[in-house]
Amino acid sequence: MTRAILFAASLAIAAACGASASLAAPAKPKPAKAPAAVSVENKRTTTLTALQVVLPAAKDGDKEKVVASLAKAVPAGKKASIKLKGAKGCAYVVRWQFEDQTEADEADVDLCKDGKVVLTD
């Protein structure tokens, strides 16, 4: 009989806890934040001579802001890390140039999803 009472009491407590948990407000998602540094990996067979991470202009007429630049060239197959300064949000433009190119290339990236830039052929 005591076991039946204890079992019924534990069921009542479990039901009450479950009901109160379902009434709790859902947690607000944290705003996405860019990493403090970006990893750059050169998987090409030539040296990476320049790289910039740029915060695009928010409105027409605004200036874009360079938040990171490569300090020195990255040889083929090597990695480097560059710190972001003044980064806000997730959407950036990455511009790069290799020693075998006369023009720079660029791509839009979301640094909140992935803080790595991997350059390949």
Q: Give the whole-angstrom CA distance, residue 64 versus residue 92.
A: 10
Give pLDDT tens digits along the chain (121 positions). Answer: 555 555 555 555 655 655 544 556 666 666 678 789 999 999 999 999 999 999 988 777 888 899 999 999 999 999 999 999 988 889 999 999 999 987 889 999 999 999 999 999 8
Q: Could you tell me the two tokens for 88?
A: 């806000």
Residue 27: DSSP 8-state = P
Note the pLDDT of residue 104: 84
Entry pTM:
0.70
Q: What is the pLDDT of residue 10?
A: 57
Q: How many helices (H) and strands (E) does the chain have?
A: 1, 7
CATH number of 37-119: 2.60.40
Single out the residue of 33, 23, 30 nearest to residue 112, CA to CA: 33
CB burial readout 94-111, b (16+ within 10 A) else e:
bebbbeeeeeeeeeebeb
DSSP 100: T
**Domain boundaries defined on the chain:** 37-119
